[in-house]
Amino acid sequence: MTKPETIATIKTALQGDVTPEQLAIWRTDERTGVQKLLASYDKRLAKQVEQAKAFSERLTFERDAWQNGLVLAGVDEVGRGPLAGPVVAAAAVIDDSFDLIAVHDSKQLSEKARLALDQDIKDKVVAYAFGVVDAEQIDDINIYEASRVAMKQAIENLSVQVDGLLIDAMTVDLPLPQEKLIKGDDRSISIGAASILAKNFRDELMAAYAVDYPGYGFEHNAGYGTAEHLAGLAAHGVTPIHRKTFAPVKNYLD
């Protein structure tokens, strides 16, 4: 009689590619440990199928463009709400080879997941670029207009020409067809990719600013008005990267 595979061996096998024949054998195995492994495997497989379906649905806008021979850029910004630092936009162009199903709205991903995706996105997109508008210009033209300027910069910085834009809830001053998508980073893969790149880029900038301006916790709060940040304002005052038209920053100005 053939000795059954160990549970440890089956567990290792289920982490990779398995055949229908293997699964059929294991499903007849009455050991509780094996059945628990199979239940976990089935759950993981179902999640992957659901993720693949959602990924396909979020490619609708891009796929329609590709079928008409058009190149689109997805555009998003990050950093409207912070009290300090720039607003950053990213533009991303993908083609039908893009297969990172984990790409989603950056706000729905953990920091670890976002950072893990960063280089993969950069490697797989056709092109990407950033736009940055600093705190001084934000104070001059307001945060909404600054976001639009950053988006325009990102698009103009792309290394490829695009035929149209998919933008998260905004439009920009460019003579290109534009699809203004509410919650676009959750509806378009290229916008989702742009949102991840923009968030990671801005977080890196704020971590660098934390070295120049210690005591505010920029490496932790990215310039948002956390208790640590507000305590830093009270103790050290306003820095050159603070948005002086934003409350409560303006309350600390002479």
What's the full length of the chain, in residues?
254
- Is 76 one of the annotated binding-site residues? yes
Q: Report CA-CA distances (Å) from 182 to 13, 26, 173, 221.
A: 43, 47, 18, 26
Question: In which element (H, E) is residue 200 found?
Answer: helix 189-212
Other residues' Cβ atoms within 10 Å of the Cβ of residue 217: 19
User: Cα–Cα distance between 248 and 226 in angstroms, integer?
Assistant: 12
In three-state secondary structure terms, 130 is: strand
- Is 77 one of the annotated binding-site residues? yes
Go through 145-173 and write b for each residue having 16 or more CB atoms within 10 A of its CB, e for each that does not.
ebbbbbbbbbbeebeeebebbbbbebebe
Beta bridge partners of 167: 75, 180
Classify residue 54 by burial, with Cβ atoms within 10 Å: 0-12, 13-18, 19+: middle
Placement of tokens 């990102």 in the chain? 154
- Is 30 one of the annotated binding-site residues? no
Binding-site positions: 76-77, 168
Binding-site positions for a divalent metal cation: 76-77, 168
